[in-house]
Structure 1
């Protein structure tokens, strides 16, 4: 039986001319530019002009690398303190998480791959601050954890759909509004949908749709809190 590799978060790694920060920065640049399919230890080594030996002194495998980069982008997520009204705080945190995931479209597809046993410091801090908002609202420990999971799952699910759509837009070579206009011109029934009647700007439709769905979740939590 092979010996388990210690968590990347508790393992110190050193190599001349290379640092874990440099590896994470290069991996993030590669992911943002080319997507998850382009990331491998070999492609990253070429990008850094580093050999395999020095790379593996810092990162044991691709899964560890993803864990490190996910934690890096979680550092961009802003969560208000528990002194803020809980509903506004949760909405702001959810919006910040969505904005981060839209800036880094690859992230929604890998969140489930990040090992829950060894959360990185940024991801752990975001989770703790979000849970504190739910606790301040009056939820018990387990309820706060479940509420946080429900909100996070909603954000990730929504962003997964959004990033797929925006990838289609990018491949089309048109703006989002132009592509929607082309679809409406070729399929007249699309002009009769409620969304088409209400919205000219598809980006505004996505923003409002996200806010509406989040409000439904928060409305349900408020009802639960009133019921005790």
Structure 2
């Protein structure tokens, strides 16, 4: 695709697809140009650098998160909806979780989301610095839950690239981890109780349980004033 017919929007869309498939380590201008049917130099002309492209791609996926109408729903419902959508977005785009640790990420779509998050906790009754603290507490809870999932995707991808049966190697690693866990009483009882699961696996609906615990804690904090 010639440079004058290639658009930044096309590049960003293709970059998100490549990132979803290959992760941050798989994103390069040559592979992206091939996907677009264009020269790598044409891609550079539109986005300047790989780091800038990651910023643009990351900002685009923030549009996937619903911003509830605060005139029609209570703050708790709005916070739950946004946190659930955020976790789902991280699940669809695990590279974004890893990108947070590698470079600053910003843009109008993320800013719009962040501004709406502040409005949610202002509606709850938080004031001043507490608004930012409440927003950060929920965001970091969601991000923390997504880290493990993103790391698993990254490990699977690396194992696949190095050849061999990645699933077999993962199972061998988890078997070894379970053997180590058996030395400790609480971990041993857990693996015995859940024989079909490794000791590191979270129980079903752990994310929802933790999120409601965080929001309940914020509600209690409001009520203790």
Do these two structures clear the TM 0.5 threshold for a shared fold by scoring above it? Answer: yes
- Residue from 16, 34, 40 that aligns with 1:46: 34
Residue 173 (structure 1) aligned with residue 160 (structure 2): no
Cα 1:201–1:107 shift into 2, 3 Å: same
Q: Give CA deviations for 1:127-171 in whole Å, capped at 9, x if unaligned.
A: 121111101000114221221122111111110112323555676
Number of aligned residue pairs: give it. Answer: 208
CA 1:76–1:47: 2 relative to 1, 3 Å = same
Which runs of no fewer than 5 residues in structure 1 stay unpaired? 1-14
TM-score of the aligned structures, taking structure 1 as reference length: 0.76
3-state SS in 1 of match to 2:47: coil
Residue 69 of structure 2 corresponds to residue 91 of structure 1 = no
* Matched residue, 1:106: 95
Residue 101 of structure 1, CA deviation: 0.7
TM-score (norm 2): 0.77
Residue by residue, what CA displacement relative to the aligned partner does 1:109-134 show, whole Å, maximum 9, x if unpaired? 11245536xx3222112112111110
Distance 2:88 2:197 in 1: 18
Is contact 1:66-1:114 (8 Å) kept? no
Question: Cα RMSD between the aligned structures?
Answer: 3.2
Match of 2:137 in 1: 150
Deviations 1:22-75 (A, max 9, x none): 110111111111111011223222322323443233212111100111011111
Distance 2:216 2:68 in 1: 19
Aligned twin of 2:206: 209
- Give me the whole-angstrom Cα distance separating, in 1, the residues matched to 2:15 and 2:220: 44
What is residue 73 of structure 1 aligned with on the other side?
61
2:63–2:109 CA contact under 8 A, matched in 1: yes
Does residue 224 (structure 1) correspond to residue 224 (structure 2)? The answer is no
CA-to-aligned-CA distance 1:91-117 (integer Å, 9 cap, x gap): 22111111111111111011245536x
